Amino acid sequence: MKVVIVGGVAGGASAAARLRRLDEKAEILIFEKTGFVSYANCGLPYYIGGVIQDKGELLLKTPESFWTRFHITVRVHTEVLSVNRHAKTVTVKDLTTGEEWDEPYDKLILSPGARAVLPPLPGIDDPRIFTLRTVEDTFRIHDFITASQPKSAVVIGGGFIGLEMAENLVEKGIAVTILEMQSQLMTTFDSDMASFIHNRLRQAGISLRLNTGAAGFEDRDGKIATLLKNDTALTADMVIMAAGVAPDSSLAKDAGLRTGIRGSIYTDDHMMTSDEDIYAVGDAVQVKHFVTGADALISLAGPANKQGRIAADNICGIDSTYIGSLGSSVIKLFDLTAASTGLTERAAKAAGIDCESVVLGPMSHAGYYPGAKALTMKVVFERGSLRILGAQIIGAEGADKRIDVIATAIQAGMQAHKLKNLDLAYAPPYSSAKDPVNMAGFMIENISNGLMKQYHAEDVDTLPRDGSVTLLDTRTREEYGRGHADGYINIPLDELRERLSEVDKARPVYVMCHSGLRSYIACRILSENGFDSYNFSGGYRFYESVYKEKLASDNLYPCGMEK
């Protein structure tokens, strides 16, 4: 059997290695049009920022190492131009010599990946405008920074690549402005959670221009000006174009293979295309979202690696299926970690799911052990069934392991309130006896059985201030004095029982504290004494971040101001 693989990196390289482990006699041939077949794609920004200093560390496998270990032939700088399905050949061009030939196959795996979106704007070909998808792109940016010593940069796009590049450019001493057409960065987060990302980037000195798109580029006195729609141009020394990616599916389209959303390559759950001898994996492939079952494009290394393995299994006669993607992801932003999995609340509602969420602010480990830092967690679940739909976690430490636990719970079909039952490792330097994941389960159970009613950040400003409801802040006087939501009176939790006469029992009581815990206790005291009470989901720390972002968006709050 001869298997030809178009493209390396995550999907193609993992498929090749799995094929060899399953079939020692198969002839395996990888064609890769760049100069590098297997590299740490997610590590590219960190070489530019100097975190990774040896470029060799980016290269996971070379053509030579593939042959030495696996007896797999790799041809780099070699582009597959077309697929002849009837003859079962691919037309190949050596980009170094210009030679072309037809290569036969028994089975074909397409792993072309995705290409950076480059909108057809005036001036887009300026050499100071860079994209970041390949190792060659990385070296170009690195060499430009080394040679030109830029002092300023515009990053267009607020997704993973845009934010990672922004952080690494700042670490190189470059002033950065991020341009984003949407109203928020990182759409894998709800806007309330994204406020923590926005505020941290502003604290790092990064200027955010949201709801703003580029209209073109031009040279101005040796610098590159990014022209904006209905706004003043931004002048800088370089531009990073990170406006998203699109499936690189032209080979499949030209070969007449079935395509999916946004021109992606359609496959079944065996990673087989509409041709039984052709498989496809990676960023160019349409998948099913694990939660909704809807068609999706999820460009992440983890799914690509799994898909490569699954394609190889099926080619070798092992029945292996891809169950869909949750889109679990994590990103480092200076001293913050931001992680997400599954659906946001926004996406769940758009999918027509009747959902609810809880927001909590637990510590990353036991508070009495030095170094504990606050996490902000949002867990989204379906009303009635209590199916977990997704989660978002942001904090200085511990976000990554908690998101992995919740991702596992989603795939296991666990109900949200049963997060309380998970037996998770505990020692004071690592967690608390009640892990934050357990705490989310407790909160959801209290909501589902009627022990707690809650309200959210978007409700605070709409609550009446005419005396028809009571707005109660149960933090200490010192905390209240440092800042509080408009209209809230202060009765510290430890004084509440003795001061219940100051609260009108005929009016609903909306309670807030710093993280949501003390206000929950206050709500239980109030409810047991006949009051109609509602706990604020997330606490004042959460509200402050959301409110600060609102002021910043309205240009009422100075960038970088400390909390």
Q: 284: closest CA among 327, 242, 322, 246? A: 246
Residue 516 structure tokens: 């949501």
Mean pLDDT for 148-154 is 97
Residue 500 has pLDDT above 80, yes or no: yes
Q: Each residue of 424-435: pLDDT tens digit? A: 999 999 999 999
Residue 558 has pLDDT above 60, yes or no: no
| pLDDT score at 26 | 97
C-alpha 362 chain-centroid distance: 22
Model confidence, pTM: 0.93
Mean pLDDT for 398-408 is 98
| pLDDT score at 472 | 98
Q: 186: closest CA among 226, 113, 229, 242? A: 242
| pLDDT score at 320 | 97
Residue 257 has pLDDT above 50, yes or no: yes
Mean pLDDT for 52-73 is 86
The DSSP output letter for 500 is G
Residue 106 structure tokens: 């028994």
What Cα–Cα distance (Å) separates residue 270 from each residue in 28, 52, 106, 320, 412?
Answer: 20, 37, 17, 6, 21
The DSSP output letter for 507 is S
Give 87's Cβ-side CA count (13 Å radius).
Answer: 9
Count the neighbouring beta carbons within 10 Å of the beta carbon of residue 253. Answer: 13
Mean pLDDT for 159-178 is 96
Sheet architecture: strand order including 2-6: 73-76, 27-32, 2-6, 107-110, 278-280
**What rounded mean pLDDT belongs to the chain?**
94
Count the neighbouring beta carbons within 10 Å of the beta carbon of residue 406. Answer: 28
| pLDDT score at 561 | 26
DSSP states of 217-235 as a string? EEEETTEEEEEETTEEEEE
Q: Each residue of 438-496: pLDDT tens digit? A: 999 999 999 999 999 999 999 999 999 999 999 999 999 999 999 999 999 999 999 99
Q: Each residue of 79-116: pLDDT tens digit? A: 999 999 999 999 999 999 999 999 999 999 999 999 99
| pLDDT score at 193 | 97
Residue 21 has pLDDT above 90, yes or no: yes
Q: Which has more pLDDT, 550 or 211?
A: 211
Mean pLDDT for 534-555 is 86
Among the listed residues 42, 316, 513, 523, the single catalytic one is 42
Mean pLDDT for 255-259 is 97
pLDDT band at 54 (very low <50, low <70, confident <90, very high): confident
User: Can 42 be counted among the known catalytic residues?
Assistant: yes
Residue 541 has pLDDT above 60, yes or no: yes
